[in-house]
């Protein structure tokens, strides 16, 4: 019987070069240990199979992040699609699953339980100042997170729109309980919360400066 491994797609195309995009696949239980020896056979087989796709072509473009149970893949989106990657993985006997869409909008229910730090403190500040809260969930090892910082969050239009927000960055390795509380399935994830902690907007992966600044301004005007 084929083992079923759930792949969580966390990042849609984040432009690396003129024609290169990036995707990170989180894989439950990628690293196995047998008799004290780390077993790499199946993740290596995935790397080899993916590297045969025309938009990837090289194993150097498929990076295994072993301590995070993840792959980061650089690919040409004009030659290879996410469906192509899914097909390759399915053919190996594993079951890929898209964890979340890229962007959601509208109010969502507030998670139950005590809000973890550092978000709890940021929410108190947002309430006292009458502002919305923007949270950037990131990881130091996440290439797409660095791209989001450089191309979107640090842009003049987003920085201007952030004047009406309290902004907090949350390192998911340092504060894993915060990521679990808000059901963060991949990085980068941007989350906008209202004064009562209700979710108003979520973006997973890349988002342009124009799109984010527009969303920030619309929500702040409501």
Residue 217 confidence (pLDDT) above 90: yes
For residues 110 and 182, membership in a common domain is answered with: yes
- Calculate mean pLDDT across residues 136-140: 92
For residues 127 and 71, membership in a common domain is answered with: no
pLDDT band at 42 (very low <50, low <70, confident <90, very high): low
pLDDT band at 76 (very low <50, low <70, confident <90, very high): confident
Q: Alpha helix (H) ranges present in the chain?
A: 41-50, 82-91, 119-129, 143-148, 156-161, 176-181, 209-221
- Calculate mean pLDDT across residues 101-114: 50
Bigger pLDDT: 110 or 139? 139
For residues 93 and 121, membership in a common domain is answered with: no
Bigger pLDDT: 211 or 109? 211
Q: Which residue has the tokens 């990521």?
A: 179
Domain enclosing residue 17, as ranges: 6-97
Bigger pLDDT: 16 or 179? 179
The conformational region for residue 155 under phi > 0 = left, psi -120 to 50 = alpha, else beta, is beta
Q: What is the pLDDT of residue 193?
A: 93
Q: What is the pLDDT of residue 35?
A: 41
For residues 185 and 142, membership in a common domain is answered with: yes
* Residues 181-204: tens digit of each pLDDT: 888 877 889 999 987 788 899 988
* Residues 110-136: tens digit of each pLDDT: 555 678 889 988 998 998 899 999 999
Q: Is 166 helix (H, G, I), strand (E, B) or coil?
A: strand
Which of 145-149, 175-179, 187-191, 195-199 has the weakest average pLDDT? Answer: 195-199
Q: Specify the number of domains making up the chain.
A: 2
CATH number at residue 120: 3.40.30.10
Q: What is the pLDDT of residue 45?
A: 80
For residues 85 and 182, membership in a common domain is answered with: no
Q: What is the pTM of this model?
A: 0.54
Of 97, 117, 143, the one marking the end of a domain is: 97
61 CB-contact burial (10 Å; exposed 0-12 / middle 13-18 / buried 19+): buried
């Amino acid at each position: 019987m084929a083992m079923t491994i759930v792949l969580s797609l966390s990042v849609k195309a984040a432009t690396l070069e003129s024609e290169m995009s990036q995707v990170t696949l989180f894989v439950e239980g990628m690293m196995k240990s047998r008799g004290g020896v780390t077993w790499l056979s199946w993740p290596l087989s995935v790397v080899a199979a993916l590297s045969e796709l025309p938009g990837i072509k090289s194993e150097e473009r498929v990076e295994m992040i072993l301590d995070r149970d993840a792959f980061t893949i650089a690919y040409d989106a004009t030659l290879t699609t996410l469906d192509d990657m899914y097909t390759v993985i399915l053919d190996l006997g594993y079951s890929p699953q898209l964890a979340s869409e890229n962007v959601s909008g509208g109010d969502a229910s507030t998670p139950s339980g005590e809000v973890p730090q550092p978000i709890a403190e940021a929410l108190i500040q947002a309430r006292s100042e009458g502002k919305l809260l923007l949270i950037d969930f990131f990881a130091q090892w996440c290439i797409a997170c660095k791209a989001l910082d450089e191309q979107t969050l640090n842009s003049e239009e987003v920085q201007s729109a952030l004047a009406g927000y309290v902004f907090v960055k949350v390192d998911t390795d340092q504060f894993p309980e915060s990521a679990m509380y808000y059901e963060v399935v991949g990085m980068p994830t941007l989350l906008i919360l209202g004064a009562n902690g209700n979710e108003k907007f979520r973006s997973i992966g890349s988002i342009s400066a124009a799109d984010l600044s527009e969303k920030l301004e619309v929500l702040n005007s409501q």
